[in-house]
A and B are shown apart, each in its own frame.
Chain A
Amino acid sequence: MTTTDPDEPMPAPDEPVMARDEPEMARDEPVPARDEPLTASPAPAKAGPGALARQRRRASAVRFWQRYRTHRSGLFGLAALALFALVALTAPLTVGSDVQSVTGAPGRPMESPSLEFPLGTDQFGRSLFGLVVWGSRVSLLVGLLATVLSVAIGALIGITAGHFRGWFATVMMRITDWFLVMPTLVLAIALATVMSRSLGTIILAIGVTTWPTTARLVRAQTLAVESRPYIERAKALGGGHRHVMSRHVLPNVMPLVLAQTTLIISSSILAEATLAFLGLGDPTVVSWGGLLQDAREAGAVSAGKWWYLVPPGIAIAVVALSFTLCGRAVESVLNPKLGVAR
């Protein structure tokens, strides 16, 4: 009953699954596949170093997937995300950009759900179903781009602060700590207020306020990687800062960055919805948060028109939850001891 096991029984060793150890070694000399139980066939004699590296990469991807598959909630999240991605990508074919046009609206204002309009219409008579489908494009795009920005800043600062010690690291980590205690949303709101209303502003506001956790995690991992002997070997062979950081540290922190990315996306999507709801988004594009703001301004709340409010909110919640579930599954595959995401 009270075992020491975390979440799921994992047949796993402690090492990160995807960590491609010593990529340089793989190129220098054909190392016998020492830690690869899954590659049944030993490397063919004719395989060059490149092929060997590819084979290793493929094997670790297979191993990753096999462990990921054991997380049912992670699979659920993945399936939901695939569905949403499909809906967003095919939206120009299914609903078309006409849905957001106010002038050519097909229905009467604020209609209840019917066969023609499955989710009713908004105050201009536009089909809410179409708007929710169309809004998925902006919500997902902003969430993804903001996360890419945030993770890129975090990884850059984390790796450099871990690699260069001394005053540079101190200053960087001081800045990180300061951002870490700042109420993220308040800072993002302040940024969005002072800049022009556009999607770029929203992406920037979210991206530059959410990176500190990534920076901290990446720095810790960088310090761990840099204490290994093969880094010393690389330096002895004349590897410069850039070589060490990009060829040795980066591949080893990538798994962590990947897990972090999936976790940050859900908060980015929530942040986008929040900023749009507060009226700081681009008023000319349709997004889920913007729809909720429209609904509130059109008096859907006091009129009890729940069908206007429910679908965009559910969409936000399902996508955010799916990314969280995926992120937790990835994290627990990469670090089986963890059990829970922080």
Chain B
Amino acid sequence: MTAEATPSLVGKTGGPAEAGPSAVRGPRGRGTAYPRYVAGKLGGAAVSLLAVLVTSFFLFRLIPGDPVKFMTGGRQVSAEQLASYRREFGLDLPLWQQFTDYCGKALTGDLGTSYQFRAPVMDKISEALPNTLLLTGTSFVLYTAIGIFLGTRAAWRNGGLGDRLNTGLALTLYSIPPFWLGLLLIIVFSVGIGPVPGLFPTGGMESGNAEGFGYVLDVAHHLILPVVTLVAVEYGQTLLVTRSALLDEMGSDYLTTARAKGLRDDLVRRRHAVPNALLPTMTLVFINLGRTVAGVILVETVFSWPGLGGLFYQALSVPDLPLVQGLFFVFAAAVIVMNTLADLIYPLLDPRVGR
């Protein structure tokens, strides 16, 4: 949990996420406290983003050796050419000046020029971003829904055969390297093995000859295997989190009351237990987005999906430092922004928190 992430900024009004259900209603109402909470969270996020920016700059200056050597790839280059490369990428300036330049440019959306593609990093990123959002968004919705659904079932029949099978399968899939699962799916369903014909494309996002609605179908066809891989390796976490959140709720008095009123078991679960268990689940789902980013990089690499993850892999193999640096910033920033959004929405959903 990001419990008490910003103690100094939020002050005495409470360590938001950690306070959880046990938080006591403070003397002040939401009126004054929520804006302060928002300000604290936004301030924390801004500090984190700045830290990422600084890290991304200095981390990639740690490299032993000359970045220009990477660019030329060991070819014989004259001293004049080296000097011109240095000038082109601003590497001849003192470090502090490079840093202020970098920060200033980053704030205006300029993340430098890729060594490999000789194009602005920002262009490459904005080209790939929609494809990644399509893949990640689809998978995120699916694995969250599946995880919550199965986690609820597992917790409600806790200890039974269904629970053990469910949890066991989730743990197993959770232990599988995503890239390996992707490769296996390609062998079985794209290349075809034995009697199974190749049902799906081996990679990429489109076949390139479809228009209009056919194009949508074509992309969807390419989307299936990557999404299946991501969902399979990621839903386990949501399942486990939901299961334990619901188990926490299951001893509560209000459930006994609901049963005593004569409600059906099914209604007790859907109307009373699950809504309460979903709140902590949602926080953790967002916190775990960092792991999803890792999964996306691997899945896009394996399926040659033209997104940020595939671009990251291409940049790594050179290594194309400005591109690696830019993508590092984008990935970290995405997770920080999503987490902050979750933090901001959370007190609106659960009035016990964040006042």
* Residue B8 CB within 8 A of the other chain: yes
Q: Do B247 and A341 have beta carbons less than 8 Å apart?
A: no
Hey, which chain A residues are within 8 Å of B265, CB to CB? 2
Q: Do A182 and B335 have beta carbons less than 8 Å apart?
A: yes
Q: Do B180 and A313 have beta carbons less than 8 Å apart?
A: yes
Q: With A and B bound together, what is the CA distance between A254 and B236 in angstroms?
A: 28
Q: Is the interface of A mostly helix, strand, loop or mixed?
A: helix
A6, A181, A185, A321: residue with the most chain B Cβ atoms closer than 10 Å: A181
Q: Do B63 and A194 have beta carbons less than 8 Å apart?
A: yes
Report the stretch among A14-22, A29-37, A143-151, A277-285 that lies at the interface.
Answer: A277-285
* Residue A301 CB within 8 A of the other chain: yes
Hey, which chain B residues are within 8 Å of A182, CB to CB? 52, 290, 332, 335
A-contact bits for B99-120, CB 8 A (1 contact / 0 none)? 0000000000000000000000
Are A274 and B317 CB-contacts (below 8 A) given A181-B335, A301-B191?
no
Are A292 and B183 CB-contacts (below 8 A) given A194-B63, A278-B313?
yes
Interface residues of B in 314-348 (CB under 8 A from A): 316-317, 319, 324, 328, 331-332, 335-336, 339
Q: Do B193 and A340 have beta carbons less than 8 Å apart?
A: no
Q: Do A185 and B187 have beta carbons less than 8 Å apart?
A: no
Interface residues of B in 161-216 (CB under 8 A from A): 168, 171-172, 174-177, 179-181, 183-184, 186-188, 191-193, 202
Give the B interface residue count (CB, 8 A): 70
A-contact bits for B31-51, CB 8 A (1 contact / 0 none)? 000000000000000001001
Residue of A nearest to B167 (CB): A340
Interface size class of A (residues with CB under 8 A): 35 or more
Q: How far is the CB of A237 from chain B (nearest CB, A)?
A: 32
A-contact bits for B1-24, CB 8 A (1 contact / 0 none)? 111110110000000000000000
B-contact bits for A163-195, CB 8 A (1 contact / 0 none)? 000000010010001101111111101110111
* Residue B254 CB within 8 A of the other chain: no
Q: How far is the CB of A142 from chain B (nearest CB, A)?
A: 14
Partner among B48, B174, B179, B339 whose Cβ is within 8 Å of the Cβ of A277: B179
Hey, which chain A residues are within 8 Å of B313, CB to CB? 278
Q: How far is the CB of A280 from chain B (nearest CB, A)?
A: 7
Q: Do A339 and B328 have beta carbons less than 8 Å apart?
A: no
* Residue B243 CB within 8 A of the other chain: yes
Are A181 and B187 CB-contacts (below 8 A) given A189-B316, A194-B59?
no
Report the stretch among A38-46, A58-66, A152-160, A304-312 that lies at the interface.
Answer: A304-312
Residue of A nearest to B332 (CB): A182
Q: Is the interface of B mostly helix, strand, loop or mixed?
A: helix
Q: Do A183 and B193 have beta carbons less than 8 Å apart?
A: no
Q: How far is the CB of A5 from chain B (nearest CB, A)?
A: 8
Q: Do B176 and A317 have beta carbons less than 8 Å apart?
A: yes
B-contact bits for A184-213, CB 8 A (1 contact / 0 none)? 111101110111100000000000000000
Q: Do B291 and A184 have beta carbons less than 8 Å apart?
A: yes
* Residue A24 CB within 8 A of the other chain: no
Q: With A and B bound together, what is the CA distance between A166 and B43 in angstroms?
A: 20
Are A324 and B8 CB-contacts (below 8 A) given A183-B290, A184-B290?
no
Q: With A and B bound together, what is the CA distance between A73 and B172 in angstroms?
A: 12
Partner among A173, A320, A338, A342 whose Cβ is within 8 Å of the Cβ of B175: A320
A182, A279, A321: residue with the most chain B Cβ atoms closer than 10 Å: A182
* Residue B251 CB within 8 A of the other chain: yes
Q: With A and B bound together, what is the CA distance between A274 and B291 in angstroms?
A: 13
* Residue A98 CB within 8 A of the other chain: no
Q: How far is the CB of B139 from chain A (nearest CB, A)?
A: 16
Residue of B nearest to A295 (CB): B183
* Residue A245 CB within 8 A of the other chain: no
Q: Do B331 and A178 have beta carbons less than 8 Å apart?
A: no
Report the stretch among B75-83, B224-232, B293-301 that lies at the interface.
Answer: B293-301
Q: Do A183 and B294 have beta carbons less than 8 Å apart?
A: yes
Q: Do B171 and A186 have beta carbons less than 8 Å apart?
A: no
Q: Do B171 and A325 have beta carbons less than 8 Å apart?
A: yes
* Residue A218 CB within 8 A of the other chain: no
Q: List 12 A-B contacts (CB under 8 A).
A: A2-B156, A2-B265, A4-B250, A184-B291, A194-B59, A266-B175, A274-B298, A277-B179, A278-B298, A278-B313, A280-B316, A321-B175
Interface residues of A (CB under 8 A from B): 1-2, 4-8, 73, 170, 173, 177-178, 180-187, 189-191, 193-196, 216, 266, 270, 273-274, 277-280, 289, 292, 295-296, 301-304, 306, 309-310, 312-313, 316-318, 320-321, 324-325, 338-342
8 closest A-B pairs by beta carbon, nearest first, are: A185-B294, A4-B251, A313-B180, A320-B175, A340-B244, A321-B175, A183-B290, A183-B293
4 more A-B residue pairs beyond the given contacts A2-B250, A180-B2, with a C-beta to C-beta distance below 8 A = A190-B60, A193-B324, A195-B64, A317-B176
